[in-house]
Amino acid sequence: MSALSNLKILDFSTLLPGPFGTLILADLGAQILRVEAPDRLDLTRELGEKDGNASYVHRYLNRSKKSIALDLKNSEAITVVKKLIAEYDVVIEQFRPGVMAKLGLSYDALKEINPKLVYCSLTGYGQTGAYKDRAGHDNNYLALSGIQDYSRRKNQAPVPAGIQIADVAGGSMHLVAGLLAAVIQRLETGVGQYIDISITDAAFTLNAMSAASYLGSNKETGAEEELLNGQQFYDYYETSDSRYFSIGGLEPKFRLGLCEALEIPHLTGMAMSQEIAEQQAFKEELKNIIKRKSFGYWQVFFQKLDLCVEPVLTLAEACSHQQIQDRNMVVNVGGIPQVASAINMSESKASYLFKGCDIGANNDILMNEFSFSQEEFNQLNIKGVFGTKKQEKL
């Protein structure tokens, strides 16, 4: 039995933040039913290389999730959703504020049907505030949160991150935490609740150490002005063949070990110094040393040394790395290698049922789980509830 096998979630979200959050929940066994617009394609279905008619990105983000196609502009579709709420008592939506209310699917409307409903709205800026109706993407949220300004080299422009930090570490993770907290509270009270998550709020909390320091001291930070953002030797170092190594041994034993391994005992005092100028001078010495040898040389050199020094791998190298393989972080789902769940539990294993499916692949769930008759199902189809309106046969 999976940890969340009794949790049923109606998922209206698209793109990355919501789907990544529900992927975590699905891997833990939650039953996810995606409500998809039949005439408005989720862009992740077209993003990157494809497996048949859908991208590998979609196949991954939406694995183990069923799909029902509903035209929410059709009043009959709204009636269907309201029937689903009796069974799927958790809702996740990612529309701009007010959209679900206009459709007649607000929290206030649906909790009248099921008071146990847990309803989570995930948006860029939340349901309140001056920016609530404003469009945005990951880099905008990182920009407004203050993260991007001090996460760059001095006198250089911010660099687009290779992953969507605000969307995932901010939005998705806070979605999962907030939703599960509400479900646990419901076990005690028997009552659901509404959850408002702003990706910008969530990204702002990722300033864990820097914001705490600034708010307490009123001392501003900036690019390469902190221990962990490039001011000192905790950094990335270029090799002779233009690859990179990360050196992060902050603790004294690692600094001493690094000096010993590199045979630079004369730099030990500099390495151990608390003076910023001394640390920066040590960093320059390390740059020169690492630059003299190739990536392959340093891989062999540091492999058996426990000094917080690791190679900067390509994604392909990471996928085949021994540690990733040892931890079974690549699994096969429906004939496709995919990233596994990072949550390992002793009493409930991760659940990988099937790869992301086609839009409306599970429309028949209405008959199989909700007692719609074949005739009722056919009428919904004729009325265009599942998409393009059908002409009734004479």
The residues annotated as belonging to the active site are: 167
Q: What are phi and psi of 9, to 5 degrees?
A: -125, 130
Q: What are phi and psi of 245, to 5 degrees?
A: -125, 145
**Contact yes or no for 66/361 (Cβ under 8 A):** yes
**Contact yes or no for 362/64 (Cβ under 8 A):** no
- Could you tell me the two tokens for 298? 């340093």
Distance CA 70, CA 68 (A): 6
Taking the CA atoms of 228, 231, 232 and 236 in sequence, report the sign of the dihedral they define: positive
Cα separation values, 247 from 244, 324, 372, Å: 10, 20, 61
Of 244, 175, 136, 257, residue with least CA distance to 9? 175
177 beta partners: none
Taking the CA atoms of 6, 11, 14 and 16 in sequence, report the sign of the dihedral they define: negative
In sequence order, the 6+-apart residues with CB closer than 8 A to the CB of 273 are 279, 282
